[in-house]
Amino acid sequence: MTPTRRAPLADAVICTVDVVLLTLHQHTLHVVLSRREKAPNQGALALPGGFVHTQEDDSAWHAAARVLQDKAGIDSPYLEQLATWSGPDRDPRGWSVSIVYYALIPETLVPAHSADVQMHPVYALPLLPFDHGQMVAQAIERVRNKSQYSSLPVYLCGDAFTLPHLQTVYEAVLGEPINKVSFRRKMDEMDMLEPIEGALESGGAHRPAQLYRLKPEFQRSLSVVERGINA
């Protein structure tokens, strides 16, 4: 063998995280985009993301939580890994890896619309840089799948909500109407809600609805049922 300089331990790889931050606005799923401060694609709307900081981040999850805090001022109660994108061409700076997370938050927590942070409906997105379009599509798919058999959509609601409202949230996520009786049977089976004693949501010329909240044990974990909500 020809003597060569010892190769480095590993090839240099650019390691970033991106976050698909989802919320519900006007009965439609929206994704929160932020304007890129640096090249490449400086000035473009994109998923909030950034480099992993090896000095401060304990994991990619922590990096994603930090990015969410820095770019949108949000401390999301639900932040789950989606998948990892990688390859030599996705970022012009070189062979790169992006570990992608997704988060769900109620509309009330979304920062006010500005030039730098905007909410866009997921089915009418501007053209996104890198492979961010794929990431959003896969996040939607994951959320729709999980919503079929879990309490995931409650993260799109605030602290107190009514069953009719929660049903519209599920319907918006799943994209189809749900039978009212079946829906209530499922919520009962999930056993994750408790009525807020004496709290009703009035406001219309009709019977007011009972307000519910998540049982404490489900604040940051999902309730799951074996057979999904058959929508």
Partner DNA sequence: GGAATAGTGTCTCTAAGACAGTATCTA
Partner DNA sequence: TAGATACTGTCTTAGAGACACTATTCC
Residue 186 partner contact from DNA, a second copy, none using kind-dependent CB cut-offs of 5 to 8 Å: DNA
Distance CA 69, CA 194 (A): 30
Q: Of 69 and 230, which has the nearer Cβ to DNA?
A: 230
Q: Which of 42, 16, 23, 21 is nearest to 33 (CA)?
A: 21
Give the interface segment with DNA, choosing from 26-34, 38-46, 109-117, 179-187 (CB under 7 A).
179-187
Residue 182 partner contact from a second copy, DNA, none using kind-dependent CB cut-offs of 5 to 8 Å: DNA
Contact between 134 and DNA by CB under 7 A: the answer reads no
Among 1, 2, 5, 11, indicate the residue that binds a second copy (CB under 8 A).
11
Using CB under 7 A as the criterion, what x/- string covers residues 189-228 for binding DNA? Answer: -----------x-x-xxxxxxx----------------x-
β-bridge partners, 103: 21, 79
Q: Of 90 and 213, which has the nearer Cβ to a second copy?
A: 90
Cβ–Cβ < 8 Å for 60, 141 = no
Contact between 13 and a second copy by CB under 8 A: the answer reads yes
Smallest distance, a second copy to C-beta of residue 115, A: 26
Q: Of 40 and 164, which has the nearer Cβ to a second copy?
A: 40
CB atoms within 10 A of CB 29: 21
CB atoms within 10 A of CB 41: 16
Tokens 């927590």 — which residue? 109
Q: Of 189 and 194, which has the nearer Cβ to a second copy?
A: 189
Long-range contacts, stretch 144-149, CB < 8 angstroms, 24+ apart: 144/173, 144/174, 144/175, 146/222, 147/173, 147/174, 147/229, 148/174, 148/228, 148/229, 148/231, 149/224, 149/225, 149/226, 149/227, 149/228, 149/229
Residues at the site binding a second copy, with contacts judged by CB under 8 A: 9-16, 51-55, 57-61, 81, 83-84, 86-88, 93-95, 97, 99, 227-228, 230
